[in-house]
Structure 1
Amino acid sequence: MKLLILDRDGVINEDSDDFIKSPDEWVPIPGSLEAIARLNHEGWHVVVASNQSGIGRGLFDMTTLNAIHRKMHKALAAVGGRIDAVFFCPHAPEDHCSCRKPKPGLFHDIARRFELENLDGVPSVGDSVRDLQAAQPLGCGLNLVRTGKGERIADLGNLPAGTRVHDDLAAFADGLMLQTRTSEKA
């Protein structure tokens, strides 16, 4: 199975230091939805792993989060794309849960859901060091995009070993598809 794990805010849609609290605040990053659609058409199953501590902080509720995700799914469908599953942590940092990134709980959940023994080599794309730290223990391929918080982080030089940096999700998708085609011809 060709599986790909994406963070949501800052990778697929614009991020906000004040959280994405309503469907109106969910705005796709230019080219991100089309990139997901291209990946889907190449046989990739795309899942989201996202911290959504706004729920635990009381900034929005599950009904609102579901409405945000409905908007995302509808926007993707309009360009011929889809997300196969959304995994999220609803907890606030002080809850000390095992699913809040940088802990790898969401990634363990993804492996179980897709009946995978491990996630070795599964590409993971985020815009923060905690996204990379959550994916690293399971052997995921680490990718940082310069959108969202990524621009501030990419140039600091303290990324986990092997992290690849891309301008945005579209650039990541183009590179992954080229790499896949090249390895399939070899």
Structure 2
Amino acid sequence: MRKNKAVFLDRDGVLNQELGDYVCRVEDFVVLEHNFKPLKELQDRGYLLIVITNQGGLAKKWYTEDDLQSMHKKLREAYEANGIQLAEIYYCNHHPEYTSKCLCRKPGSLMLEKAAARFDAEPSKSYFIGDRERDVLAGEAAGITGILINSDQPISEVLHLID
């Protein structure tokens, strides 16, 4: 039996400000500071924090891999400065209109399944917080409880849903 529990997190609209389309520039990447406290609480309660995000803008060539890595560096640094460790950031760089069909793009569950296996996370003790229906569907397909929030909604408002 797997021993760890995890909270999987969508990126845009959950950890950083939703811009309505893709965040293409590091200058436009705004970390949602109101989520520092609730995510620290979840970490302190023993949950691994793992990011699962679709990044189809790469396939569309709206931004580069270097741009994405710079955004993820900014995200990690902001959370680390507040005592929060993001165990990993998984992303799908495909888009159905620009690349062949893949299994990793949400609502597919491959990224979640890979992360759960790598970190020995028990799906039945884990949650996926996202601001799109595809996040909840991906979680459910992997046996993980999905929690749908509004874009940029404070995670503190759904903490009571996590054991």
Q: TM-score, normalised by structure 1?
A: 0.78
Q: Is the 8 A contact 1:47 1:85 kept in 2?
A: yes
Q: Does residue 95 of structure 2 align to residue 109 of structure 1?
A: no
Q: Is the 8 A contact 2:56 2:95 kept in 1?
A: yes
In structure 2, what is the equivalent of residue 172 of structure 1?
A: 158
Q: Aligned runs of 1:1-186 on 2, under 5 Å?
A: 1-94=4-97, 95=99, 96-116=101-121, 119-148=123-152, 167-173=153-159, 175-176=160-161, 180=163
Q: Structure 1 pair 121/44, CA: closer, same or farther in 2 (3 Å)?
A: closer
- Segments ≥4 residues shifted beyond 3 Å: none
The alpha-carbon deviation at position 129 of structure 1 amounts to 0.6
Q: What secondary structure, in the 3-state scheme, does the structure 1 residue paired with 2:67 have?
A: helix
CA distance in 2, matches of 1:25, 1:10: 13
Give the number of the structure with larger relative contact order, counting CA–CA contacts within 8 Å between residues 6 or more apart.
2
The alpha-carbon deviation at position 30 of structure 1 amounts to 4.0
> What amino acid sits opposite 1:66 in the alignment?
Q
Q: Is the 8 A contact 2:6 2:125 kept in 1?
A: no
Q: TM-score, normalised by structure 2?
A: 0.88
The alpha-carbon deviation at position 80 of structure 1 amounts to 1.3
The alpha-carbon deviation at position 172 of structure 1 amounts to 2.2
The alpha-carbon deviation at position 124 of structure 1 amounts to 0.8
Q: Gapped runs of 5+ residues in structure 1?
A: 149-166, 181-186
Q: What secondary structure, in the 3-state scheme, does the structure 1 residue paired with 2:21 have?
A: coil
Percent identity over the alignment is 27
Q: Is the 8 A contact 2:136 2:145 kept in 1?
A: no
Q: Is the 8 A contact 1:7 1:131 kept in 2?
A: yes
Q: What root-mean-square deviation, in Å, do the aligned CA atoms of Structure 1 and Structure 2 show?
A: 1.7
Aligned positions, number: 158
Q: Is the 8 A contact 1:13 1:27 kept in 2?
A: yes
> What amino acid sits opposite 2:135 in the alignment?
D
